[in-house]
Amino acid sequence: GSGGDAPSLMKMLDAIEAPDFSRQSAKDLKKPIHAAITELDDEIATAHENIADQAIEHIHANEIILTHAKDPSVEAFLRAAAKKRQFEVIVAESAPSNEGHITAAALARAGIATTLIADCAVFAMMARVNKVIVGAHAVMANGGIYATASCHLLALAAHHHSVPLVVCAGMHQLAPLFPSGPEHFNT
């Protein structure tokens, strides 16, 4: 793989031994459960900020970025990069919800050069794009993502044109499931 000798995230997570709580009383479990919930709550509360802190490493001067829909992590990521770099963002409208219109307006208000395009123009514009940046509801165990339907269009066009695709997702969005069918998402 591209990570050399680095272990995969799944191997690292599998190596962590879960504590055995089967012999503990409910009273004894209260503190560790509360600590775990507090840690998860903190991760969720700071996820956008933590993701945005990495923006400068991924977005370079004068790049053309393509995104779509409305995702607070992606918006925070692009705003953070815009504090130090000049770049342009092309936003696909994400029909029929047209969330891309909201994202384009927000980025333009933040002073980022923004162009809104119809979804059908994504493939034609991809040859000009340096990077695609999307959000996700979840990142699956095999590296696939569970995201809005229009994300698939962006991913296919990016793959065809060999354009890197960056997914902005927090640790709390890592899912242990493999996407083998819709039944995994409806249980």
Which pLDDT value is given to residue 142? 86
Cβ atoms within 10 Å, residue 131: 18
Distance between CA atoms of residues 46 and 161, nearest Å: 34
Q: Is the Cβ–Cβ distance between 82 and 141 less than 8 Å?
A: no
pLDDT tens track, the chain, 187 positions: 344 455 555 555 566 666 677 777 778 788 878 888 888 788 778 788 888 899 999 999 999 999 999 999 999 999 999 999 999 999 999 999 999 999 999 999 999 999 999 999 999 999 999 999 999 999 988 888 989 989 999 999 999 999 999 999 998 888 887 766 666 555 4
Q: What pLDDT, on a 0 to 100 scale, did the predictor assign at position 163? A: 99
- Per domain, the residue ranges of the chain are 52-173
Per DSSP bridges, beta strands 131-135 and 113-117 are unpaired
Instruction: Using alpha carbons, select from 69, 123, 136 the residue that is nearest to residue 98.
Output: 69
CATH number of 52-173: 3.40.50.10470
CA distance 98 to 112: 19
What pLDDT, on the 0 to 100 scale, is given for residue 183? 63
How confident is the model at residue 37, as a pLDDT? 82
pLDDT score at 68: 97
pTM over 0.95: no
